[in-house]
Structure 1
Amino acid sequence: MGNKPSSLRPKTLKELREFLSEEYTNDVIKTWYEEYKSSLTKGESSLTRDAFIKVYSNLFEGEASNFAAEVFRVFDSDGNGVVDFKEFMFGIYVSGCSMNEDMKLDWAFRMYDRNGDGFISKEEMTYMFKAIYRMTKPPSTHSTPEKLTDYFFECFDKNKDDQISDAEFIAEAKKNRLIVDMLEIDPCG
């Protein structure tokens, strides 16, 4: 098994402990590492985009590849085309329910701001909502991704310039949790 990825190094474990909350014990991190390792193709030490999408998509009954590609984009914090274990753990941590609200909102903003220009357009938000609707049940109050986008722009786009800035997003998301909750996709529910 010479191609088997190396085990979790003590230095990596120590580095992860510096930013993860207490709920992520060494045993929990090691369990996540085993899950991560089992997702790797033989000889690889990081998840490629395609491997990440495949693993992520297997969690859902619906079609999740578009959403998974966006999650990969945000998890790949250094933009090198792969998600290493540290990026994976940070992504799991930041996108998780127990995360610091400001970090979670920043992560959510980056998910919706697909082109990274610092604003969310109606097209970007509609794309994300379509991806979410394809893999899960849509919220009962908004029958289409387009109607949900219109609702969010009414609430979030305070200056009515047809784009949502990070400041608008964060201020309104603190009042209206639905947009962040839409990203906390639970494959079991």
Structure 2
Amino acid sequence: MGCAFSSSPSPRKREQRAQGYEEPAVLAAETSFTVNEVEALYELYKKLSFSIFKDGLIHKEEFRLALFRTSRGANLFADRVFDLFDLKRNGVIEFGEFVRSLSIFHPKAPESEKTAFAFKLYDLRGTGYIEKEELREMVVALLDESDLCLSDSAVEEIVHNTFSQADSDGDGRIDPKEWEEFVKQNPASLRNMSLPYLQDITTTFPSFVMHSEVEDYSGISK
């Protein structure tokens, strides 16, 4: 008699499926990462996804903990980045989403991808434009995240100077084309869109912590 084999997936396969796992070769072909780097990112992903909720998916609280060492309280910057990583809009970040979104921050990722992501980051309402209030809110959030405080007049100066450069048609909002031109003239505005350690994550393998320095953001007004 022949041996009967079970067709049900192994526990490891079931776990990977629940995490939105995709083969490293597939993700490497679609991103700026190598196969080995994707494999290293999977180990990092597992660590993050079990830090609070033990379900193998990255929840918003775990994302905040990874970025800012705290899971308490809303943070506009962290929550906005989470929303952009959550491509399926289901409230969690799966492994494939994690790799594809993190790839944008790779030093070798195309500048066009970084520019588009940064635009979405500031387009809080999802209208396809960056308006003054949205920029103001994000600047304040970034300052708060950095434990730095600028006066209201200093914040207004950042917003005013940015719009005076970027809003070329003077309609009070920045469209994607105007943003592209602004970034070309102000490359420092994308400085925090590259995380150097992603260049060689297989050897550095740090904690996934993004530090935003206020000078990188206030510098967009120069």
Q: Which TM-score band applies after superposition, normalised by the shorter structure? A: 0.7 to 0.9
Structure 2 vs 1, CA of residues 10 and 147 (structure 1 numbering), >3 Å: closer, same or farther? closer
Deviation at 1:117, TM superposition (A): 0.6
Question: Helix, strand or coil: the match of 1:82?
Answer: coil
Structure 2 vs 1, CA of residues 64 and 155 (structure 1 numbering), >3 Å: closer, same or farther? farther
Structure 2 vs 1, CA of residues 188 and 68 (structure 1 numbering), >3 Å: closer, same or farther? closer
Aligned length: 180
Structure 2 vs 1, CA of residues 9 and 123 (structure 1 numbering), >3 Å: closer, same or farther? closer
Query: Over residues 17-46 of structure 1, what are the superposed CA-to-partner deviations in whole Å (9 max), with x where a residue is unaligned?
Result: 12123xx22222121111111111354132
1:55 match? 66
2:205 match? none
1:25 match? 34
Deviation at 1:65, TM superposition (A): 2.9
CA–CA separation in structure 2 for the residues paired with 1:27 and 1:123: 42
CA–CA separation in structure 2 for the residues paired with 1:103 and 1:184: 11
Q: Is 2:130 the partner of 1:120?
A: yes
CA–CA separation in structure 2 for the residues paired with 1:169 and 1:87: 25
Structure 2 vs 1, CA of residues 119 and 34 (structure 1 numbering), >3 Å: closer, same or farther? same
Percent identity reads: 24
Q: Is 2:28 the partner of 1:46?
A: no
Query: Over residues 51-96 of structure 1, what are the superposed CA-to-partner deviations in whole Å (9 max), with x where a residue is unaligned?
Result: 212221129xxx9932111110111122121111111111111133
TM-score (norm 1): 0.81
Q: Which has the higher contact order (CA 8 A, sep 6+)?
A: 2
Deviation at 1:168, TM superposition (A): 0.6
CA–CA separation in structure 2 for the residues paired with 1:13 and 1:127: 37
Matches within 5 A, 1:31-180: 31-41=40-50, 42-58=53-69, 65-136=75-146, 144-180=154-190
TM-score (norm 2): 0.70
Code of the aligned partner of 1:89: V
Larger Rg: 2
Code of the aligned partner of 1:157: D
Structure 2 vs 1, CA of residues 65 and 188 (structure 1 numbering), >3 Å: closer, same or farther? closer
CA–CA separation in structure 2 for the residues paired with 1:13 and 1:90: 11
CA–CA separation in structure 2 for the residues paired with 1:188 and 1:126: 16
Code of the aligned partner of 1:149: V
Higher mean C-alpha deviation, range 120-129 or range 174-183:
174-183
Instruction: Give the root-mean-square deviation of aligned CA atoms.
Output: 3.1
